[in-house]
Amino acid sequence: MSKRRRLTGVVTSNKMDKTVSVRIARRFRHRLYKKVIDRHISVKAHDELGCDIGDKVLIVESKPISKTKRWVVEEIIRKTVSTQQA
């Protein structure tokens, strides 16, 4: 297994061509005050698999693909069920 970082997140936008925006959330306890804190970051990832909004995905670190893309979608962990009928 490679030493690249792997993170899981939820797809928030897929409007770009072969790019998705992924929200990565983490929860931790403050060292001094012991309060639980929720933090998140949004990253752009290269998508060849065709992710939809709401999908839970595994992204892996890669070399820079463009100005803002440094991640690649490795697999879709859980697909969302679309309720819209066209």
Hey, what amino acid is at 30?
A: H
What is the spatial distance between Cα 74 and Cα 84, in angstroms, rounded to a whole number?
Answer: 27
Burial class (CB in 10 A: 0-12, 13-18, 19+), 45: buried
**pLDDT class for 85, splitting at 50, 70, 90?**
low
Predicted confidence (pLDDT) at residue 86 exceeds the cutoff of 60: no
Q: Full-prediction pTM beyond 0.95?
A: no
Fold of 6-78: OB fold (Dihydrolipoamide Acetyltransferase, E2P) (2.40.50)
Radius of gyration, alpha carbons of the chain = 15
- How many CA atoms are closer than 13 Å to the CA of 49, on its beta-carbon side? 19
What is the spatial distance between Cα 28 and Cα 37, in angstroms, rounded to a whole number?
Answer: 6
- Summarize pLDDT for 4-58 with one digit per residue, the tens: 999 999 999 999 999 999 999 999 999 999 999 999 999 999 999 999 999 999 9
